[in-house]
Amino acid sequence: MALILEVTMMLVNRYKNTDNICMKTSVRPILVVGDIMLDQYFKGNVSRISPEAPVPVVNVKNIESTLGGSANVASNISTLNGRVVLAGLIGQDHYATELKRLSKAAHIELRTLETHNPTTTKIRVIGEHQQITRLDFEERQVLTANQQSQFIDVIGDMGAYSAVILSDYNKGMLAGDFCRHLVQLANDANIPVYVDPKGNDWSKYNGAYMVTPNLKEVQELLGRPVANTDNEIEQAGQMILKQFNIEFLLVTRSEKGMSLISRNRAKHFPTRAREVFDVSGAGDTVIATLAWAMVQGQSLDESIHVANVAAGIVVSKLGTTPIGYGELQRALHASDDKVLPLDLLLLELDAYRSQGKKIIFTNGCFDILHRGHVHYLKEARALGDVLIVGLNSDESVRRLKGPTRPVNQELDRAEVMAALESIDHVVIFNEDTPYELLSAIRPDILVKGGDYVVTDVVGREFAKEVVLIPFVNGFSTTHTIKKMNERGT
């Protein structure tokens, strides 16, 4: 009994706090203000050198557009199912049209001022997976007094937002006095301000709740090298906090994770990335995920943990791809455990399906594991890529088999099943049949024993295919228990 209690508490503790962020649909939107950009990728093949100049000729096969700059921050919030308003400057060109289309598709509420300058756009020409050149269309623009007034009207009441993110790419949108004014408006409305900084004028961020520089930006601000060690990061952070009125500093340190520094403490968060491929967009993901987790009710440390996990996913990819809610949840729950509650299992199944894997499902009491079970499960696993076993709970087994069953309790049975190489995941269900479980899982193949006929298989309508596998003669749990009782007498 003590062992069962210990295992139960272990499972409860494993999935609490940041490992189970519940979405709050009533949360006010997050306001993102900053330098809006459009990223475009011209991808193609390279087979020759131009006769006009010693440069490769790219035969373009594909053009992709993504949201960049502060728009990428907003996109990260939206893909986490968060509500977001994006405010900034755009031009009156076809790039602005494309940016509006992408924002609408990403469920981002766009509030902008249109200017005669081009929409900030970065075009990357890629041949044979290698970036050959980048074309930038941009003009640095500082808002006039009249434009500042118009922009405040566009934003509206700061009290309508749950948080403000200032995404500064040093293109002029968040220049000096106007940035200070935005911070003051948010503070007056008691709304926290998160800043992804750029440049050396951090006085414009005074009053911010948190600033999230990377190590390079810390070095540029201080005008000297800073080693990527805990001690030097702490010292540099304290120097910055003495100069500016900022409550928290969160330094992102690439493969070494993050460091949270305030005037009375420092805490370091090691990275969760297995391998760093590309840090592009990592800062956008960090500040977006951090603010999102905070408005969902997570503590500061928990939110940083979530942001750190998100950053670990992003830097292990190529390019600036926003992280999705399901992808983040899967990473937060990542473990080697095969026994999962249904909500976490469904997240795993989403990942398997995105990889094109075939899902097999079977179920049973599996009270005393025997040769017949092992053979049956190996045959089931051979039908596809991932085998899910629905395991009847103790209460369910008692209703089906009588008060003397099960012999082994559900957590013990689950661990034994999970030890089998043929099984990928085990999920415990409390109903008499797996009907509700199947309605959620919807496997590619539903497997049952040879004593069934297809028309009698419960939940068959939720599977693409039903397969019957004959039992090995002479093996059953009931028969095993009978032999044990006979020998006992």
Distances (CA, A) of 29 to 49, 88, 181, 210, 336: 50, 16, 20, 18, 36
SS3 390: strand
CA distance 95 to 381: 50
Euclidean distance between CA atoms 332 and 22, whole angstroms: 13
Q: Compute the distance between CA of residue 298 and CA of residue 425 in angstroms, rounded to an integer.
A: 29
Which of these is catalytic: 19, 35, 284, 394?
A: 284
CB proximity list for 315: less than 8 A, separation 6 or greater: 254, 255, 271, 273, 276, 277, 278, 279, 282
In angstroms, the CA 309 to CA 305 distance is: 6
Is 35 an annotated catalytic residue? Answer: no
Of the candidates 40, 61, 33, the one whose C-alpha atom is nearest the C-alpha of residue 120 is 40
The length of the chain, given as a count of residues: 489
Helix (H, G, I), strand (E, B) or coil at 462: helix
Angle at Cα 72 formed by Cα 68 and Cα 76, nearest 5°? 160
211, 259 Cβ separation under 8 angstroms: no
The answer to whether 58 touches 47, Cβ cutoff 8 Å, is no
Please list the active-site residues: 284
